[in-house]
Chain A
C-alpha cells in the first residue's frame, strides 16, 4: 500500500483502474474533466487495460456504457450536474436494464445562473432512477467507493448501476493523502465481472424488448426488491473492505458520536467533516451532540434513521439543495422514515451551502444552538425549513 497525494478526480481515475473497468465512455464537463484526462493518460500509458470511447455527450456516455455492460464488460463513466441531467433518461435505462455500470458524479450546481460549484441537486434529482448512490466525504472514500460500488452493483442479488458522489472542487480539485491499495488486494476483493445474461451470438436473446401491462410491474417490483437487498450487500461489502484495508465507511451510514447524542445533524458530503470537528469542540464543552453523515442515499438508510430517532431529542437535517416544493430531499426522506416508527423527535431542515457557499464551523455551532432552541421552544419565525444565511437584509450575524 502506497500513500499518494491525490485530488478527488485522480482518486476516481485510479479507482476505476484498480477496479479493472474495461470500457470507459465519458464526456468532459467541469469539474469532472480531470477524471477523463487522467483516465485517457492511464489508458494511453497502458496502465489501464480499457477501451476509452470518446463520446459526443453524456447521454451517449451512459448509452455506450449500458451497451458495453450488456455485452459483458465492466463499464465506467463520470459526469457532473448538467451532464447527469442529460443522462437522466439513460440512467433510468441502465437501472431497468439491470446493468451494473458505475459512474462518478462530481456534485455541482444546476444552472441558471451558471455555477460550477458544489451543490447536491444534480444527484438528488436522480433519486427515483433506480441507481444506487454512494456519497463520499474525502478522496480516500471516493477511490474505495468506486471499487466497492462494483462489488455491490455486480452482486447477483442487486444488479443495478451505482453512482459515487463527490463535492465539486472541495474534493475534485483538492489534494489529500490517499492510500492506494495494491492491485492484488483489489483483485481479491473484486473478482472479474461475469454474467450469463448478455448479448451472445451463441445464445441469442433480446434485451429490453416491448412488454405488456401484465408483466411490466414484475420487472419494476424485482428492481425494488433488489434495491432493498442492496442494503445488506453494502454492509457486507463495507465489512469485507475493512478486513482487507482497515477502512470502513459505516455501511449504510457514517455515524459520528451518535450513540448518546441528544442533538444530531444529518447531512451529506464534505461539509460534514467540518461538522465533525465542531462536534469534538462541543463535546469538550459537555454538549451531547453527534453527526450522521449520508453514506448511501439510494437505497435509503431507513434503519439508521430510526436508530437516530430512538436517541435524539432533535435532528437537524442539512440539505445542500432544495426540492422546490417543500423542504430538502434529505429532510423529507428523514421525516418519512420516522412517521411510522413510533418515535419521532423534532426535526428541522437547514438549507446550507447551496451553489458552493462555505459552511463554516461557526455555522454548525449556531445550527446546534438553534436546534436545541427548537427542541425546547418550538420553531421560530423561519419555521421548520430554514434557508440558512440567505441574504435578505435581516440575516442574523451568526448565519453570515
Chain B
C-alpha cells in the first residue's frame, strides 16, 4: 500500500517544537469508527513506546480495528488473546523475554474497559500482585462497544446502553463507574495513572514514565466513542476535554502511594458535557444535579488526597 507522503519535520524543526514523537507506528487503514477515541489512544501509546514493543490485545474494539487477517495497521507485533487473559498474557510474554535474555522490549497489554474492569479483573489483579515488569493500558470508552454498546462496570450512572435501555422503563445505568484506577492503587504497584486521548502530551509523558519504571504499571485512558455515546464524531477531542473540566473524569498519577493531579481546569457545567452525547439526553435534572454533586465531592476527595500526598512526601 502507498503511504501518504510525510512532511519533512527536520526542515521545520527550527520553527516547530515537536512535543509528540514523529514516528508513526499506526498506519492509515484501521477499521475503527469515525472519530474513535481508542484509535487516538493507540496511536499516541505506540508513538511513546516505540518499535521495541510487543502488544497483547484481548477481545475488544482493538481486536478488530487493526484489520482483518492477513492485514494489520500496526507496526509492532501483536498477540490477540481471549477476553479475560490480558494480565496473564503479558506476564507470559515478559517471562519468555526474560529467559530468552531480551530485556529491552516493552510489553504492553491494551484492553478495553469491559476486558479490564469486568472479565479481565482477575488476571489484572494477578499480574499486579506479581508486579511483573509490564504496562497494562485500559482504554476506557465506558461500555462494551465492540459487541454493540452493552454496559460494563465502567459505564457511568445515567448512561443509556443497549442493556441499560431508556424509555418507559427508565432502566438506564444505575450504578456508578467502577474505579479500576483505585483498585490498582490498592495493589500498591509502582505507577498508576489516568490519561486522556484528548491530551496527547500528557498521555505520552505518562506512557514514557511508566515504561521507565520497573514493575507493573497501569494507565487508564479516557477514550470517547462517538458510535456508543451517540455524539458528533467531530467532537471527540472537545468532549474528551469537557470530561476533565466537568470532573466526569480526572487526570492524575500515583507513584509510591503519592497522588498528583495533572490538570485542574476551571469547572464547566456537567450538563454541557452530558448533553453533547445522546446517551445522556434522557437524564432528568434531579439526576444530573445528584451526579454533579457526587462528582464534585469525588473531586474534593482527590484534592484532599493530593494534599495528604504532598505532606507525606515532605516527611520523606
Contacts and interface: CB of A to CB of B under 8 A. Distances in A.
Secondary structure of the A side of the interface?
mixed
Interface core residue of A23, A55, A64, A199 (most chain B CB under 10 Å): A64
A64 B89 contact: yes
Interface in B115-130: 122-123, 125-126, 129-130
Interface stretch (B80-88, B271-279, B299-307): B80-88
Contact of A210 (B69, B98, B99): B69
B114 interface: no
Contact of A209 (B68, B92, B125, B132): B68
Contact of B93 (A60, A68, A210): A68
A207 interface: yes
Interface string B71-98: 0101111111110110111111101111
A67 B90 contact: yes
Nearest to B99: A22
Secondary structure of the B side of the interface?
mixed
Interface residues of A, number: 43
Interface in A42-60: 49-51, 53-57, 59-60
A212 B53 CA distance: 27
B54 interface: yes
A345 interface: no
A93 interface: yes
Given A25-B88, A53-B130, A63-B123, A71 B96 contact: yes
Size bracket of the B interface: 35 or more
A215 interface: yes
Given A59-B88, A71-B93, A206 B66 contact: yes
B189 to A, nearest CB: 15
Given A199-B79, A211-B68, A73 B87 contact: no
Contact of B87 (A60, A72, A200, A205): A60
A71 B125 contact: no
A66 B76 contact: no
A201 interface: yes
A208 B80 contact: yes
Interface in A185-216: 199-201, 203-212, 215
Contacts of A93: 81-82
Contacts of B69: 206, 209-212, 215
A66 B125 contact: no
Nearest to A54: B130
Interface in B148-165: none
A65 interface: yes
B126 A67 contact: no
B68 A210 contact: yes
Interface string A258-292: 00000000000000000000000000000000000
Contacts of A95: none
A100 B63 CA distance: 23
Given A56-B125, A70-B79, A71-B93, A209 B72 contact: yes
Interface string A208-226: 1111100100000000000
22 contacts: A25-B92, A50-B99, A53-B132, A56-B125, A59-B85, A59-B88, A60-B123, A63-B81, A64-B92, A67-B88, A67-B89, A69-B96, A71-B93, A90-B85, A93-B82, A201-B76, A204-B76, A205-B77, A207-B78, A209-B66, A209-B72, A215-B69
Given A59-B123, A90-B85, A205-B72, 14 more contacts: A25-B91, A60-B87, A63-B123, A68-B92, A68-B95, A68-B96, A70-B92, A70-B96, A71-B92, A71-B93, A201-B54, A204-B76, A207-B77, A208-B81
Question: What 4 A-B pairs come out closest when comparing CB atoms?
Answer: A67-B92, A64-B92, A60-B88, A71-B96
Interface of A: 22-23, 25, 49-51, 53-57, 59-61, 63-73, 75, 89-90, 93, 199-201, 203-212, 215
Interface of B: 51-54, 56, 63-64, 66-70, 72, 74-82, 84-85, 87-93, 95-100, 105, 122-123, 125-126, 129-130, 132
